[in-house]
Amino acid sequence: MIHKMQVHELKDYESLCERVVKHVLSYSEEKIAKHGRFTIALAGGSTPKGVYALMASEEYRNQFDWEKIHFFWGDERWVPSGHSRRNDCMATETLFAKVDIPAVNIHAFKVINANIELSADAYEKEIMRHFEIKENEIPRFDLILLGLGQDGHIASLFPNSEALHEKRRLVVSVFHERTSEHRITFTFPVLNRAESLFVMVSGSEKAKVLKKVLEAGDEHMLLPAQELKVNSGEVLWFVDRAAAELLS
Ligand code: 6PG
């Protein structure tokens, strides 16, 4: 298992966003030059907001080849389309509403007959169509963006969840105890097959969990984020000084 982990420590959140955008841009250029398209899965929550806003800014928006970039999500909250808690709404507000991206390039989770299992299956089939793969094959995303929860979760893979052990399905539904919210999430087979994972961590409230994830051995129960081990790609951590304050 080739596991290359690199930690980029930036002085503050703005610098973290700038560094992430520069990496996403150069990565997208490399993949589009090689394969004619770039497929990225976005993270939800608050940390990525500055990244998406910067991608849509005067400074960057004309550098991205939007026609050739396909957007998925690594997870979504089980609330109706258009609901403010949805991760795709946040991305629409910060990014998609400001740049010219073909609607077909935006692959959002759809709520199907108010049935979360049907929606998870439908998303799995959309991923398989996009990557032209069959049952039991795992897609290889060029890039998956992730945040880090204070409990060590990534996407909606929470500690002690059955979903952590899913080996076959690409997308599953989970129940988030703390927020009593149902969610849909990529599984580890998808995350760990990605060419590249960018994990963005900002703020002193994440310092304790970041230290545990990056420095603790496996002497105790692993946190979900410690299971990120891309097979033949890279895991890049983008952390600001506040989040890194406890790192050795
Ligand atoms: C979500 C995200 C989730 C998030 C972490 C960190 O749907 O909320 O996918 O995994 O990345 O909870 O959230 P913050 O960036 O808001 O700290």
> Residues 58-111: pLDDT tens digits?
999 999 999 999 999 999 999 988 899 999 999 999 999 999 999 999 999 998
Find the 129 Cα to ligand 1 centroid distance in Å: 27
* pLDDT given at position 81: 84
Tokens of 223: 């946190």
**pLDDT at residue 40 tops 60:** yes
pLDDT-based confidence at residue 48 (cuts at 50, 70, 90): very high
**pLDDT at residue 230 tops 90:** no
**Beta carbon of 189 within 6 Å of any ligand 1 atom:** no
Find the 108 Cα to ligand 1 centroid distance in Å: 17
pLDDT-based confidence at residue 2 (cuts at 50, 70, 90): very low
> Residues 73-85: pLDDT tens digits?
999 999 988 899 9
Find the 36 Cα to ligand 1 centroid distance in Å: 30
Give the mean pLDDT of the chain.
Answer: 94
As a whole number of angstroms, the distance between CA 41 and CA 159 comes to: 22
* pLDDT given at position 3: 39
Question: For 144-172, what is the mean pLDDT?
Answer: 97
Distance of CA 44 to the CA centre of its chain: 7
Question: For 205-213, what is the mean pLDDT?
Answer: 96
H/E element holding 147? Answer: strand 143-147
Of 42, 146, 177, the one to substitute when testing ligand 1's pocket (max ligand atoms within 8 A of C-beta) is: 146
* pLDDT given at position 220: 65
**Beta carbon of 171 within 6 Å of any ligand 1 atom:** no
**pLDDT at residue 19 tops 70:** yes
Find the 153 Cα to ligand 1 centroid distance in Å: 8
Find the 226 Cα to ligand 1 centroid distance in Å: 16
**pLDDT at residue 10 tops 90:** yes
Tokens of 169: 């399905």
Percent of the chain with pLDDT over 90: 88
Of 77, 156, 176, 190, the one to substitute when testing ligand 1's pocket (max ligand atoms within 8 A of C-beta) is: 156
**pLDDT at residue 244 tops 70:** yes
As a whole number of angstroms, the distance between CA 9 and CA 59 comes to: 23
Query: What is the per-residue burial (b if ≥16 Cβ within 10 Å, else e) of 202-212?
Result: beeebbebbbb
Question: pTM of the prediction?
Answer: 0.96
Contacts of residue 23, Cβ cutoff 8 Å, sequence gap at least 6 = 198, 236, 238
Query: What is the per-residue burial (b if ≥16 Cβ within 10 Å, else e) of 162-183?
Result: ebbebeeebbbbbbbeeeeeeb
* pLDDT given at position 221: 73
pLDDT-based confidence at residue 5 (cuts at 50, 70, 90): low
CA nearest 42: which of 85, 111, 89? 89
